[in-house]
Copies of this chain bind each other. A is one copy, B any other.
Amino acid sequence: MSSKKEPFNLWVEADLQGTVRTRYRVTKTLFEATSQFQHIAIVETAGLGRMLINDGDVMLSERDEFVYHEMITHVPLFARPGVERVLVIGGGDGGTVREVLRHARVRYCRLVEIDAMVVDACKIHLPQTAAALDDPRVEVAIEDGVAYVARTQDRYDLVIVDSCDPEGPSEPLFGAEFYSNVHRILSPDGVVVSHAHSPFYDAVAQASLLRILGDSFRRVQIYNYSNLTYPGGLWSFSFASKGDFCPVGDFDARRVEESGWSFRYYSAAIHRAAFVLPEFQIKQLGELLTPLG
């Protein structure tokens, strides 16, 4: 009967490997439904703004999504100038597309998202990211990304695999056939950047992804960033080049300065520092990585 008692004590909880769980206090459930592919929820949290949760895993929060979205886009787009055509696979929330579109050279961005319900729900409840999907340079295609890269004759300068972890509908996005097709549809100097797990909690999946990339791509790197709402906080993106392009050695910091843009996480210095891996990760992945420079 204490006056401090919460009238309705609502938490959403994400599980990792059955041993670690992160819970966020929910003030309102804005959307909750089960699509053909997964359970989708968008909730208002007490500390992190709105949050998208697919099959129980946090996809993004309004408060920290800038980190993930700046790092998955500006690293390849500032490293490799002249990108005009971008393919985003997954990423139905629109945050990756929003950051891609800041680059004026990009004249076409195709988002291939398997689940229409993610796009529709985010357009209503997460305009901070999803508003970008209405831009005229963007085409949103509701299709299986694996099937699209297998069938298309289109070509891209940059492919961004903005997926969940390799469970449920995202699993084939971590396979060899998928990446062999990504390689095929990339321009000769093309790059693919992919969500690449946590070096701490999923070293095996991280190594597996790099091994698959190494089968097709000439140069394979990994870079880290802090994901505030993913377990452990230390997470990675892979960076694979079809040509001889190195994201550090061939990176010109002046491009970032000349943009005059304001970032919240990314900078030219962060770009370089992100490719500096902790020793345990180098030991796990060393032989799978192309030397930088």
Interface set of A (CB-CB < 8 Å, partner B): 11, 13, 17-25, 45-48, 64, 66-67, 200, 224, 226-230, 232-234, 262-267, 269-270, 272-273, 276, 278-280, 282
Contacts and interface: CB of A to CB of B under 8 A. Distances in A.
Contacts of A229: 232
Contact of A273 (B18, B66, B264, B276): B276
Contact of A46 (B19, B47, B264, B279): B19
A265 to B, nearest CB: 4
A200 to B, nearest CB: 5
A270 to B, nearest CB: 6
Number of this chain's copies in the complex: 2
B22 A48 contact: no
Given A233-B233, A265-B278, A276-B270, A47 B25 contact: no
Given A19-B24, A20-B24, A22-B22, 14 more contacts: A19-B46, A64-B232, A226-B232, A226-B278, A228-B233, A232-B233, A263-B279, A264-B279, A266-B279, A267-B278, A267-B279, A267-B282, A272-B276, A273-B273
Contacts of A18: 25, 46
B276 A264 contact: no
8 contacts: A19-B45, A20-B47, A21-B22, A22-B22, A22-B23, A228-B233, A264-B279, A265-B279
B19 A47 contact: yes
Contacts of A13: 23
A67 B224 CA distance: 15
**A13, A67, A224, A278 interface centre (most CB from chain B within 10 Å):** A278
Contacts of A234: 226, 228, 233
Contact of A20 (B23, B266, B267): B23
Contacts of A19: 24-25, 45-48
Nearest to A46: B19
A104 B188 CA distance: 53
**A19, A64, A270, A280 interface centre (most CB from chain B within 10 Å):** A19
A29 to B, nearest CB: 16
A151 to B, nearest CB: 39
A230 B232 CA distance: 8
**A24, A67, A269 interface centre (most CB from chain B within 10 Å):** A269
A237 to B, nearest CB: 15
**A21, A24, A233, A266 interface centre (most CB from chain B within 10 Å):** A233
